[in-house]
Each structure stands twice: as C-alpha cells, then as structure tokens.
Structure 1
Amino acid sequence: MRIDLRSDTVTKPTKGMLEAMFTAEVGDDVYKEDPTVNELERRLADLFGKDEALFFPTGSMANQTALKLHTNPGEQVICDKYAHIYNYEGGGASFNSGISCKLIDGDRGMFNANQVVAAINPPDFYHSPLTSLVEVENTTNKGGGACWDFEELKQIRKICDNHNLGYHLDGARLWNALVNTNESPQDYGQLFDTISVCLSKGLGCPMGSVLIGDKELMEGAIRVRKILGGGMRQIGYVAAAGLYALDHHVDRLAEDHHKAKEIGKILEQMSIIKKVEPIETNIIIFELESHVDETEFLRQLSDHDIHIIGMGSNKLRMVTHLDYTDEMHERLLDILDQF
C-alpha cells in the first residue's frame, strides 16, 4: 500500500468528479463561450461577493497575474519571507512584473500590521522602490498550514487603505482555513482586492485555480493571462471538476485536519523528533533531532512505501488529503509508533 503524503496535490479525481468531467458542456473559453467555465467563475465571484472571477491553469499564474494587476515595474510588494510568491514561483515577480519583494520576518508565515507599516517605503523617497501591494498567504505553506487571525488581516486592510496599497490574498489553501475558522468567503471578499483560490489541492481537482476580484482590477486579468500563455479552449471539462469539488469536497477537509493532528500526536511522542510545529489544518512540519540523519529517516519510511517531503536542515513535511484513506492512516500511525 503506497502512502503518499508529499502534498495534497497528488490526489486523483474521484469517480463522481470524473463523471462530472465527462458529461460537462464545453465551448471555447478564449472566446468566453465555455458555459461550464463561465458557471464556475460566476459561482466563485458570487461566493466571495466580488464582481468577477477568472479561471487559470495554475495557482502560480493566478498569483502572478494579481501581482501584475496591482503593480508597475520597479515597484515593491510586501510579503512574508515564507511567501509562495517569493519562494516557489520561479522568481516570477521580478521576471513577469519587474517588481521586488520586501520580506517580513513573520511568525510561521504570518506578520502583523505594525510590521507592514515598518516595511512601507516612504513614497516621496525616490531612492527606494515604491511600495504598492501587500500580499498574504492563508493557510501558510511553509508555516505548517497555519491560519491567519482575521482581526489582524482587518488591521492590515486599514494600513493598505491609509497608504493606498493593494491587498492580495494567495488563498491556495483558503478552503482549509475556512473550514477551520468561523470566517466566510464573503468576509474575505470584503477584505481583499484580489483573491486566488486553488482547486487542485484540498479540493482534489486535477488542475485549476481561480482569481477573484473587483471589476476595476480584473478588467486587465484576461489580457495578462493571455500574455502568460494561460488562454485555454474547451477547459470546461476541468472546470466541471471544480464545480463538483465545491459541492462535495469542502466540508470533508475537516477529516484531513483531524488526521494531521493525530499524526502530530504520534510524532511528538517519538524520541527522534525534536519539534512538531503547531498543527491547525492538513500540514505537518516536524524537525528531527540533530543526531538523526534525515536521508536515512526518509529511506526507512520509503521502505514501508511511505513518502513525505524533506525540507532540509532536518525538517520534514507531511500533508494529508482526499486520497489518504482511513486504512492508510492506521498503517502510518502503527509504523510511526514502532519506529
């Protein structure tokens, strides 16, 4: 039995999702004539209380488009040092938009309003880049699936308003945060100018992300998507997977969170584990004791057909997901317990 906990991106479509995909009504989305894509975009715009939404093949492309919409070349975006847009999008901020990142030394990928104020460059000081955007990520990937305090996000919104800054949310795992907290999509829609949400992680779709935002900003989104090579044709087959996931795969995310916390409890009891980061959602980040060889630890897990991610410096990551079954879970707990 292969147990793959490298990421929640490794899932495959369920039978119900495949049926929805095979029976989807499609058209040419470049001409905006794919009814299933149009339905998905309308549904997500309405869900977040925004004017418009646009389907993208990847979350990175959706985020990169948002950066382009909010900024001009030579300007700067404020984000955490762990931010996906800085660490895992191939340097796209500089390559695609000609902007730089002002990195905040936050806590598990999260920062506070005072840190934002301190990071803003004086607009009349022409020696430094003009600050034009604040970007946050919820949940935080490198922060171990941590969920932002919504009150802090509201305080940052006030800072953005006071300094005429854009506010973008990388919501790759926002669905996990919503299931774990009391906030609603409408709450986030009222707070952020643009939001990217991923369909191919916790929701289990084979691909796809959607950028959601206010009309004034989103008017240029389809042009940027085209420039980045994201114009697609009969993509309704994939959009149908997104619609199915919204109906069937959101509430079940709580199961992934529960399993992640159970794994964390076992890890905390193991003498070779130095630290387990707090677990709120479906990501478990833990650190081995200094005398333990990370490569050997990964090899021993692999011998049991268990696959996780090594992050370097003796830190490792597991991510629970739709295809991680109860049977797999019990087997993993047994093996860790016997380590």
Structure 2
Amino acid sequence: MADSGVMDLRSDTVSGPSAAMRRAMADAEVGDDLFGDDPTVIRLQEQAAALTGKQAALYLPTGTLCNQIALHVFARSGHVVVCEESAHVGTHELVSSAVLSGVTFRTVAGRSHSLLAAADVAAALEPIPYDVAVVDLVTVENTHQVGGGTVMPPGALAEIAAVCAGRGVPLYLDGARIFNACTVAGVPVSRYAAQASAMMFCLSKGLGAPIGSVLAGDVEFIEEARRLKILFGAGWRQAGIMAAAGLIALAEGPGRLAEDHANARKLAEGIAAILPAHIDLDGVQTNIVFVDVAGTGHPLVSWAASLAEEGVLVTIVAGKIRMLTHPDVDAGGIDTALAAWRRVAAGFGLLAPAPLR
C-alpha cells in the first residue's frame, strides 16, 4: 500500500522501483543508446536474448512500441494481421497499427477465456476466393489480459505455430506478461519463445521495473527493429539508467510472481464471498481479477468511484471492473481491498448474507 493509504490495483504497472533497483539506477554505467554504446542497455539486451533463446534483443520504452515495430517489420501496408478479437494489439493498438503501418486485423473469437485455438487460426488463414486480403502475420497474447490473465499452455502455442509454419506466415508473441504464464505453466520463457518468429515482454508490469520492454528475435529482425525504433522517435540517450532497473527486474521479478498470483486468488475468492454471482474464479489464473457488476443495479462508474472513495483504485476494462496485483500489494493490502469491497457492496444494499454455521 502506498504511503497515502490508497490501494492502487489499476495495473501492475503502478508499482514503484525496489530499493535494489534505485541503487542500480543511481550507480548505472551509461553511454548513448542512440549510438548503441550504452553498456548497461547492451547487457540487458544480451541477457534478454539469452533468456528467450533468441539471437538478439532490443530494449524499448513500451510494450506497445515493441508490438508496433514488430507489425511494421512483418506486415506490409494494406495487408492483414490475425489476432484474437479482444487482443491488445487489435483493440488498444488498432489506430496505431493503421497510422504507423497501414495494416488491419482479421479477428478471431477466442474460446474459453479468450484463448485462441489452432483450428481457429487455420480457418482465419484459409484463402477467400476473390478477396484482396493478404495475411502477413499471426499474433498471440500470452497471458491474455482481457481474458482475465489466462495462460495459453506451451502445447497450444506449438499447435498454432505449426499451423502458421504450414502456411508460411510468421507468428509473433505479445508476451507482455509472459513470465506470469511461465510461472503457471512451469516452463522457461524460451519454451514459449521457440514457437514464435519474434516476441516481446514487459519489464514494467509484474517484474516491477519502472519502465521498459524488450523485443527479441533473430539478428536481421532486430537490426530492422533498431532502425524503426529511431524512425518512430524512440532513440533515447542514457537509457542505461532505466536498463539497470530492468536487469534487477529480470533477476528478481520472475521468482516472486507466484506471490502476486496467490494475492489475486485471495482477492477473487474474497469478492466471490461478497458478490458470488459476479466473478469467474476459473478465470483467475495469474495476477488479474475481473468483476462483472452487471445486474447489480449500479453502473460500472459508480462501483469504480465508490471503491476509489474507500481508497481502492480500479480500472474499467471490457465492461468489467479490473484489478491487478503487483509488488506493492501484499496479503494485508488484499484484506484492505476486500474490506472496501464489503463497505461498497453494503452501501449498495448488495452484501451477501453470512453463511450459516
């Protein structure tokens, strides 16, 4: 919990840098990353490439920029990218993709908790007679944020990769929270990365760094990505100050994600006791919790505003209340959040009766 007494569950991007990160940032050896000579950035990129099993990696300010650069490399203007219908790249980034790369999307309805299946991807890649659409790329988001932070198993991704390979279409992995998926699946990130032509992951989400994401792929891909980084205006300078925190995040972040998952489960189960008909516990697999307050007689904005008045900050995503656990939320913070949920539900006249003993 922040010193202000506010429990911020809006995203796992809101956590502050750890003491170790602050020390590393203060002591970072730096150069000018635009010229490619910042030693701390170089070290981070080398470690990221080794971790993912890719030939090279590129440190970038945001995950969205990683995605947009990848789309620009893989897809020609006027061509099509296949993604799940609620995927970040095809919704939140839709306009960016149109402006920067001139691409559009062929969306596929996910199955359970928005997860794609190989058969659905195969259908999306079937040529349509007399259609001018050309599919240049398939993207998969893992974990899937709108799906509830759900995890695509490595085998399912391998099946999609096989479909893509059979059609000669590259597969790109939007792995913003891939380390959360690895924690659940019990596999190294390289297991997922091996199925994709390129991938990205965020340092600034559950891993706890204050800024930055990494794009990984083969040498030719990263060389072009570096050119596009400058073209798109992201040629930063002494980026090693931030990369130093990213190195700490890579070293220490993955090992503590299970704690975030446990706190999210505790939060979800606590809300299920308050509003039993409004949460899908099966969908809570990682650090994301969605609460569907439709049918409560009170609009989403009223729930969000009332929770904020009680000191709990949430977001509204896909027509639901969304909350994420992160390094600044401990078990005691979950108790605080649940107490706020109970007060708001009681104020709305919705508090479930206590179970009989």
TM-score in terms of structure 2 length: 0.90
Q: Does 2:354 match 1:333?
A: no
Q: Does 1:120 align with 2:125?
A: yes
CA contact 1:147–1:177 (8 Å) conserved in 2: yes
Question: In the alignment, does 2:314 pair up with 1:308?
Answer: yes
CA distance in 1, matches of 2:306, 2:131: 53
Question: How big is each residue's C-alpha offset from its partner over 1:253-296, in whole Å with a ceiling of 9 and x where there is no partner?
Answer: 11110010011111112247523351000000111141331233
Deviation (angstroms), 1:205: 1.1
Q: Deviations over 1:102-155 (max 9, x none)?
A: 0001132311111111111528x5632111111000101111100002211111
2:211 aligned residue: 207
Return the match for 2:11 from 7, 10, 16: 7
Find the counterpart in structure 1 of residue 350 from structure 2.
Answer: none
Among 49, 54, 61, which residue is 1:57 paired with?
61
- Residue 38, structure 1, aligned to residue 42, structure 2: yes
> Does the C-alpha gap of structure 1 residues 271 and 210 become closer, same or farther in structure 2, counting only changes over 3 Å?
closer
Three-state SS of the structure 2 residue aligned to 1:251 is helix
Alpha-carbon distance in structure 1 between the residues aligned to 2:280 and 2:157: 26
Query: Which residue of structure 2 lines up, in the alignment, with residue 86 of structure 1?
Result: 90
Displacement of 1:90: 5.2
SS of match in other structure, 1:316? strand
Query: Corresponding residue for 1:219?
Result: 223
Aligned twin of 2:156: 152
Task: Report % sequence identity.
Answer: 35
Give 1:335 deviation, angstroms: 3.4
Q: Which residue of structure 2 aligns with residue 296 of structure 1?
A: 302
Question: Offset of 1:337 from its aligned partner?
Answer: 4.5
Q: Distance in 1 between matches of 2:116 and 2:25?
A: 40
Aligned to 1:240: 244
| AA at the equivalent of 1:320 | T
Q: What's 2:348 paired with?
A: none
Counterparts in 2 of 1:333 and 1:219: CA distance versus 1, 3 Å: same
Q: What is the Cα deviation at residue 89 of structure 1?
A: 2.0
- Partner Cα distance (1:291, 1:261) in 2: 22
- Does the 8 Å CA contact 2:304/2:321 hold for their aligned counterparts? no
Hey, what's the Cα distance between the residues in 2 that align with 1:241 and 1:18?
A: 7
- Is the Cα contact below 8 Å between 1:272 and 1:289 reproduced in 2? no
Task: Measure the CA separation in 2 of the matches of 1:88 and 1:207.
Answer: 19
Tell me if the contact between 1:267 and 1:273 (Cα under 8 Å) persists in the aligned partners: no
Which stretch has the larger CA shift, 198-207 or 275-284?
275-284
CA gap of 1:102–1:16, structure 2 versus 1, over 3 A, is same
Q: Is contact 2:55–2:218 with CA below 8 Å preserved after alignment?
A: yes
Residues 105-116 of structure 1: pairs in structure 2 closer than 5 A: 105-107=109-111, 108-116=113-121
2:296 and 2:87 mapped to 1: Cα distance? 30
**Partner residue of 2:176?**
172
2:317 counterpart SS class: strand
Whether 1:20 aligns to 2:24 is yes
The answer as to 2:145 corresponding to 1:141 is: yes
Question: What is the deviation of 1:55?
Answer: 0.8
Among candidates 178, 189, 196, match of residue 185 of structure 1 = 189
Partner of 2:353: none
- Aligned 8 A contact 1:121 1:131 in 2: no
- Structure 1 Cα separation of the partners of residues 208 and 163 of structure 2: 35
CA displacement 1:26-60 (0-9 Å, x = unmatched): 00111110000000000010111111100111110
- Does 2:71 correspond to 1:71? no
User: Is 1:265–2:269 an aligned residue pair?
Assistant: yes
Q: CA RMSD in A?
A: 1.6
2:202 to 191, 198, 202: 198
Structure 2 residues without counterparts, runs of 5 or longer? 346-357
1:175 to partner: Cα distance: 1.2
- Partners of 2:332 and 2:270 lie apart in 1 by 16
Match of 1:323 in 2: 328
What amino acid is the match of 2:305?
Answer: R
1:153-210 CA distances to partner (integer Å, 9 max, x unpaired)?
Answer: 1111111111100110001111111111122122122211101110111111111011
Tell me the matched-pair count.
Answer: 337
Query: TM-score, structure 1 length as denominator?
Result: 0.95
